[in-house]
Amino acid sequence: MAVDGIADVKGSTSGHREYPLEMTEDERYLFDLNGYLIIRGVLTPEEVKEATDSITKRQEDMTERKEKALRNAVPGTALYGTGPGRKDLGGVLEWGEDSKVFKSILAHPRLVPLFHGILGKGYRMDHMPFVIAQDMGAEGFQLHGGTVDCVSGEYNPYLAYTCHHGMIRSALMGCNVILTDHNAGDGGFCVVPGSHKSNFKMPPGMVDGEAYQEFIRQVTTKAGDVVLFSEGTVHGAMAWTNPDVQRRVCLYRFSPATNVYARSYFGNEGGGWPKAMYEGMTDAQKAVLEPPYANRLDRPNINSDLSVEITTRGARKKQHDQEIFGTKYF
């Protein structure tokens, strides 16, 4: 059992990897306790190399956040670093064969039970995923988020974490796919454990890493790990201090079937996700790109074996709606 509460994935004698079919009680407890979870070894070393090679091919396309308006930390604070900006790279699901590993995250057999446990059946991709890169000294990210916003102190239903009658739900969930090792002291993703249940805004200076640093945890991970976190958990990033490697992660955000934060699912210059995303996708991966609507309205749901099942109402009800509204969906 890892310190952060996740057992390593075990391989079977046949060489196939075996995965839990539902979120375990340990995982539920630890996610509810901390507001995040580390899943070790989701990607194999070969898959990590394939993903990082795809990024390296496009390294010149990375955009550094140089302008003041794009910076994520306050100059002179603990999270700012020594000057360089963070680098971003989009389009990770639009690279044809080079997107294979990135697309696998949408319906990965190790992750689907966790997505169901945190978001419910019919979960959907909410934001376009992108690569985050930090060179030596590059700034991190001021602490942000919270079920109760860590700056304003106002309730934030778009990010909120809840747990009622044993059912965990997060209105928006981050999924950080780790592509380089993050050792203690290296920097990168950080979190305030338990802050998804906080009822108050943060004390002055804490969002900048200047106060109460002992409560801000840099998450140590290895390439191939995945960090799932509720956006209701206050999080950010520390400046990168490792001179030997460029920090690389790929950040996804997912939401329950009827929740939505971002608008790119319909706003791609006239509607829909970019067509290139769908190339080579499985039915399960395509299901995750559905827009927000309720499961009972013919939404494709992913089963534990990664098959897809349409959840629906009775034919007579759909016929009735067709007669009344001119469409089978009210």
The rounded distance, in Å, linking the Cα atoms of 80 and 73 is 5
Residue type at 229? F
pLDDT of 12 reads 30
Distance (Å) of CA 220 to CA 139, 185, 208:
18, 9, 20
Backbone angles phi, psi at 136, to 5 degrees: -50, 125
Low-confidence ranges of the chain (pLDDT < 70): 1-16, 267-271
pLDDT of 267 reads 64
CA 199 to chain centroid: 24
> What's the burial of 2, exposed, middle or buried (CB within 10 Å: 0-12/13-18/19+)?
middle
pLDDT of 92 reads 98
**Residues linked to residue 124 through DSSP beta bridges, in sequence order:** 255
Which residues are CB-neighbours of 316 under 8 A, at least 6 positions away? none
pLDDT of 270 reads 56
pLDDT of 269 reads 57
Distance (Å) of CA 204 to CA 34, 59, 150, 207, 211:
22, 37, 10, 7, 7
pLDDT of 79 reads 97
CA 282 to chain centroid: 20
Among 126, 54, 131, residue whose Cα is nearest residue 95: 54
pLDDT of 5 reads 43
The rounded distance, in Å, linking the Cα atoms of 293 and 297 is 7
Backbone angles phi, psi at 45, to 5 degrees: -55, -35
The rounded distance, in Å, linking the Cα atoms of 150 and 39 is 26
The rounded distance, in Å, linking the Cα atoms of 312 and 324 is 19
